[in-house]
Amino acid sequence: MNWDPLADFIQAEDPAFVALLQGVPAKDLARVERECAIRLPRSYRGFALMMGTDSDGCYLFGPHRNQKFDDLVAQLPPRTYPGQHYFKIGSAQDPSEISPADYFLDLTRSDGVDAPLVMFEDAADLGPEGFRREYVRDMYVTFGEQATISIFTFLVLDRAPEHARVVIGALSPAERQAANAAATERLRRMNFDPVLPSNARVSSFRRGQLGALVTVREELRCVTIHLSGDKGPSLRVVVDQLRDHFPDAAMRGPGGPLGS
């Protein structure tokens, strides 16, 4: 997934928020690529150029991961992992965490536009000879997908007073794709309109003041539908309709049997 649609969405959704963002100078980005002999995917380059220095509280990996480009570059060159294969984009900064893992772009699987995310512990005592590929944990999401999830959640879902969640679980890979297709089609039938470009794992929708984010969670073998809206009956009606269509799903929030 590319960054350009996300940049357009951020600008249209909240120009005041955009005015507070601070990106990395293009020359600094180019210098790091040159010195590290790497090419970063366009999705991450777009993020860094727009908000890689100051994202005004919009955290792609949560508040306990430092995503500031300059801080991450200050940790280079890597001592414990192959830097031409992995580029750190989220560093653990909570001292209470035990063996905290950092977020990396897997450059070996980049297509130039996007790259998968992986996690592993950048432990100082490993040494280059101590790094093993089995230490790397696949996050089953690309940078562009994670950025879409986090930014749509930050600008749409989190700003609404009411929330609900539908979880369609215990699914095989084929069942997850079928459930994802059924969920997105059901939302369209309920007059939700797509907001950002969709793919096989992430889709975002809106209907008036209602927001919906559909994600395929491969590691949890489920499909989740996160919903938000103003206080009132609208969100409850949507949850009830989804419950009718997915009777075995777990519901949380207005209309859901698990409560809010």
Tell me how crowded residue 164 is: count the other CB atoms within 10 A of its CB.
Answer: 22
| Residues 6 or more apart whose Cβ sits within 8 Å of residue 30 | none
Which SS3 state, helix, strand or coil, does residue 250 take?
strand
Got the DSSP string for 130-149? G--GGG-EEEEEEHHHHHHH
Q: What is the pLDDT at residue 131? A: 78
Q: Which two tokens stand for residue 237?
A: 């009606």
In this prediction, residue 19 carries a pLDDT of 97
Which pLDDT does position 257 carry in this prediction?
Answer: 45
Going by pLDDT thresholds of 50, 70 and 90, the confidence category of residue 125 is low
Distance CA 33, CA 203 (A): 31
pLDDT in tens, 40-92: 999 999 999 999 999 999 999 999 999 999 999 998 988 888 999 999 999 98
Are the C-beta atoms of 176 and 184 separated by less than 8 Å?
no
Distance of CA 32 to the CA centre of its chain: 24
Band of pLDDT at residue 207, cut at 50, 70 and 90: very high
Residue-level length of the chain: 260
Token match 């801080």: residue? 71
- Cα→Cα distances 1→141, 235, 237, Å: 11, 29, 32
Distance CA 149, CA 257 (A): 26
DSSP for residue 78: P
Q: For each of the domains in the chain, give its residue range(s) and CATH number, in order of start.
A: 4-145 (3.40.1580), 160-252 (3.30.310.180)
What percent of the chain stands above pLDDT 70?
A: 94
Q: Which of 1-10, 31-40, 89-98, 158-167 is predicted least confidently?
A: 89-98
Within 8 A by CB and 6+ apart from 2, the residues are 42, 43, 46, 113, 114, 144, 197
Please state, in angstroms and rounded to a whole number, the distance separating the CA atoms of residues 37 and 132.
22
What is the rounded end-to-end Cα distance, in angstroms, of the chain?
33
Q: How confident is the model at residue 252 (pLDDT cuts 50, 70, 90)?
A: confident
| pLDDT given for residue 79 in this prediction | 81
User: What pLDDT, in 10s, does the model give residues 85-118?
Assistant: 999 999 988 767 777 899 999 999 999 999 999 9
**Predicted local confidence at residue 130, as pLDDT:** 65
Per-residue confidence band for 258, with pLDDT thresholds at 50, 70 and 90: very low
